[in-house]
Chains A and B, each alone.
Chain A
Amino acid sequence: MVLLGEPMEAVESVAFGFMMPAGAARLPDGCCGAGSVIADWIFRGAGDKDSRQLSDALDGLGLVRGRSVGSSHIAVGAALEAGNLAEALDLYADIILKPSLKDDRFELARQLAIDEVLSLDDDPRHKVMLKLREQFYPSPLGRNTVGNIPELKALTAQISGQIIKDKFNLSQTIFSVAGKYDFDAVCRQIERLFESEPKEGGESVTLGPRQGKYTHIDNDGAQVHIALMTGTVKPTDEDYYNARVAISVLSGGMSARLFTEVREKRGLCYAIGARYHGLKEAAGVMCYAGTTPDKAQETLDCVIGEFNRLGEGISAEEIDRAKVGLKSSLILQSESSSSRAGAIGSDHYILGRVRSLDEIKDKIEATSVDSVLAFLRNNPFRDFTVVTIGPKQVKIQ
């Protein structure tokens, strides 16, 4: 297990997280959604505590709990007042190492996961982004983290228990902590709690083909929810910061191009934006626009037009605004113990090391109009994967 810590002087809180290599893309085929079930099931009793005793113990420490299922990991953790950290880690060791995994509790966790999938139909904006990842990333990287109904129905406690056994591999687990804590004491405690034999693992995922270019899901709602994505460089690439600045020119602040052209000048949308989305194996620019049916085609054409126009020229002022926006958001986020704990964990997984804030600032600072345009010449934003949900389809040029 890797232990990462970042002390923060100005806070009284501490945040921690465990990233177990059991994300959606690492699950065996036919188990889509098992991650959601597992992330629920392991909290239904652990160690010598039943479900309610465990929950009461966590609440007694005032934990602000978090858990997520991503492409690569299941992450569990919390933010809390610094004085309660040791007790919280004891409880999380039980949750990870000694979950009760009772069969009747499994059925409840599975039923909730099925209901969450059904609920997505009433949340088209969320659904369209999940579908986009599924269509854009080579399989299984974009596998739906919420799940799909037939595979959830076929899932058993036995299969899920086996996944936990295989994938909660401590040798591949990343622990991160940020805020107010004593790193030596935390290390001693984690060693005591999690000491185990090294285990092989981390087998690479075999990538399949990308899915279709355009997918439409019919829904008689008020808007057409448009999601699109195009490939770009990974976080490990030397052009990563040029890509981030380019995307920021497109959709950083309110003076960025998408907001200005699509919303301010044309009034086509309320919600419009694009952002970088990176996994270890692949990355892209992910864009969302929601608009009423009659404006859907114009909106999509306008958005793609802005992607195409980016390589034709960017002003020095646009680059400066993009850079200051990226640097400022980095520093603002660095005041939160939760976001730091998450960031150092994900850095270590993707890059194999943790970047300092100064390193990131310097790399952003080193970009220029020329470097961003050169990047766009070599890596133009094209070949979009498009997904729409709503009462009307769009045409892809």
Chain B
Amino acid sequence: MEFKSEKLENGLVIIGELNKSAKSAAVGFFVKTGSRDETEQINGVSHFLEHMLFKGTEKLSALEVNEAFDRTGAQFNAFTSEENTVYYAAVLPEYLAEVTELWTQLMRPALRDEDFNIEKNVIKEEIAMYKDLPSFDVMDRCRNLHFDGHPCGNSVLGSEESIDNLTAGQMREYFARRYAPNNIVLACAGNLDWNQICSLAADSCGSWQPQTVGRKLDHSRGSKKKERVEKANLVREHICLMSSGVSAQDPRRFAASLLGTIIGDDVGSRFFWELVDKALAEAASMQFGAMDGTGAFCSYIRCGSDNVTKVLDIVSSIFNDLDRNGITEGELTKAKNKILSALVIKNELPMGRLVDLGFNWTYLQQYRAIEGDVNAIKAVTVDDVHSLIEQFRPGDFTQLSLGPARSAGQ
């Protein structure tokens, strides 16, 4: 593996990790913008804009864009989160330049009114789709309750109302502010010709104008509110818990991930043994998510209405025990083994590698080889995890439940 980087005069950073033995290559534009960078009036614009990039440029129609990608056999798509919008493609090495060139063009989209109006329907269908996925809906609502006014609580999709009211003009204004070259990283990984990618990026992106871009980076302690929302068509109780954690810049993020695995991995965790193994809940997981300047532990539990009280009592006792007695050396070792092998397996694919490469640069302006992460995980001690528990008290959480109407007496 060989790491390369270059910066254009306008601030666009290009990074690459070359692996000659890979059968494929991956490329992605990492734009540091998401729902946390939106105001209430334009909520949902980052995600909507992500869709609009596929609608083409002054020279290319939407169909021509899709045909151009498909001619290369690329597996390509994009995703938007609270703080990043990522456009990516995994492709055979001989097509990498063509696909990268295409992405560079799309990063300066036409944003036509007629495309905007049709795509509005698709966005509203996507909002409707997630309403029918309570496991997603409950997390979205809980995030909003937890961050309680902090921009990290903004919904990525927006609401039907905010999307209805959004105008193409507002989107163009947002695009001009946020898609500045100094707010974007172009990353590539796998079997690739570095010089070719650089000269191509210089030719296509060199004329983009830098802007003053920023982001509010307040930490959030979380509201710790508790709410329940009823939906008549639901059958099970969906529970989301959130508590605050360290940021993506904090070296303790590895300890935080291990803590998430110890408490809430799908198998072999405390949630697993106390809730799933005993058939009190059919799903119970906890994950740590590091964000820009802040972070959160997020748990999802699904169970029958009859078991809700019991399940929540057990959750309390798991966190109380964690406060009193901490974790064991054995638990930490198991969690390390699980995280390390998942990390190694994921990074065997150029596409998996691309995501870590791009985000490390976005958050840290730093290249981290896999070995760096492996060593950082191995170095975490029981005491590191204990001091994290002491400071962040994951048992002190925001809670949102989504479930059927409760019958009398419950």
Contacts and interface: CB of A to CB of B under 8 A. Distances in A.
B267 A65 contact: yes
Contact of A290 (B121, B125, B232, B235): B125
A55 B234 contact: no
B348 A10 contact: yes
A312 interface: no
Contact of B267 (A55, A264, A265): A55
A223 B90 CA distance: 32
Interface in A282-323: 290-292, 317, 320-321
A56 B302 contact: no
A268 interface: yes
A252 B72 CA distance: 12
Interface stretch (A122-130, A198-206, A376-384): A122-130
B132 A108 contact: no
Nearest to A11: B348
Interface stretch (A95-103, A112-120, A137-145, A165-173): A112-120
A48 to B, nearest CB: 19
B236 A119 contact: yes
A64 interface: yes
Contact of A79 (B121, B302, B345): B345
Interface in A2-17: 9-13
A44 B276 CA distance: 12
Interface string B75-104: 110000000000000111001000000000
A1 to B, nearest CB: 26
A329 B75 contact: yes
A107 B279 CA distance: 9
Given A122-B134, A221-B132, A111 B279 contact: yes
B216 interface: no
A108 B278 contact: yes
Contacts of B72: 324, 328
A118 B281 CA distance: 12
A225 B304 CA distance: 24
B408 interface: no
Interface string B226-248: 00000011111010000000000
Contacts of A292: 124-125, 128
Given A52-B273, A221-B132, A331-B24, A112 B267 contact: no
> On chain A, which size bracket covers the interface?
35 or more
A47 interface: no
Interface stretch (A233-241, A254-262, A342-350): A254-262
A150 interface: no
Given A122-B134, A255-B70, A329-B75, A291 B24 contact: no
Interface stretch (B38-46, B332-340, B358-366): B332-340
B121 A335 contact: no
B176 interface: no
Interface in A40-63: 44, 51-52, 55-56, 58-63
A62 B333 CA distance: 10
B131 A222 contact: yes
A339 to B, nearest CB: 10
Contacts of A220: 232-233
A30 interface: no
A64 B121 CA distance: 39
Interface string B15-33: 0000001111000000000
A267 interface: yes
A194 interface: no
A332 B183 CA distance: 30
Given A62-B337, A121-B235, A221-B233, A115 B304 contact: yes
B268 A335 contact: no
Interface stretch (B2-10, B61-69, B143-151, B198-206): B61-69
Given A115-B279, A225-B132, A328-B91, A13 B73 contact: no
A25 interface: no
B73 A58 contact: no
Contacts of A56: 268, 330, 334
Among B62, B128, B132, B238: residue with most chain A CB under 10 A:
B132
B201 to A, nearest CB: 23
A337 to B, nearest CB: 8
A259 B268 CA distance: 41
Interface residues of B, number: 69
B75 A321 contact: no
Interface string B276-304: 11110011000000000000000000111
A255 B277 contact: no
Contacts of B233: 219-221
Nearest to B125: A270
Contacts of B128: 222-223, 270, 290, 292
Contact of A122 (B23, B73, B234, B333): B234
Contacts of B135: 122-123
Given A62-B337, A222-B131, A321 B70 contact: yes
A9 B279 CA distance: 42
Contacts of B91: 328
Interface in B326-350: 330, 333-334, 337-338, 340-342, 344-345, 348-350
B315 interface: no
A355 B309 CA distance: 53
B119 interface: yes
Nearest to A80: B341
A79 to B, nearest CB: 5
A291 B330 CA distance: 49
Contacts of B406: none
B179 interface: no
B379 interface: no
A269 interface: yes
A103 B121 CA distance: 53
A253 interface: yes
A151 interface: no
A325 B70 contact: yes
Nearest to A260: B63
A292 B125 CA distance: 7
Given A328-B75, A328-B92, A336-B349, A269 B125 contact: yes
30 contacts: A9-B21, A10-B348, A12-B348, A13-B345, A58-B268, A59-B337, A60-B333, A64-B345, A109-B279, A112-B279, A115-B236, A122-B135, A122-B238, A122-B302, A125-B133, A220-B232, A221-B233, A222-B128, A252-B70, A255-B70, A264-B62, A264-B118, A267-B120, A267-B125, A292-B125, A324-B71, A327-B73, A328-B95, A329-B73, A338-B345
Given A59-B334, A267-B119, A328-B75, 4 more contacts: A265-B118, A324-B73, A335-B22, A337-B345
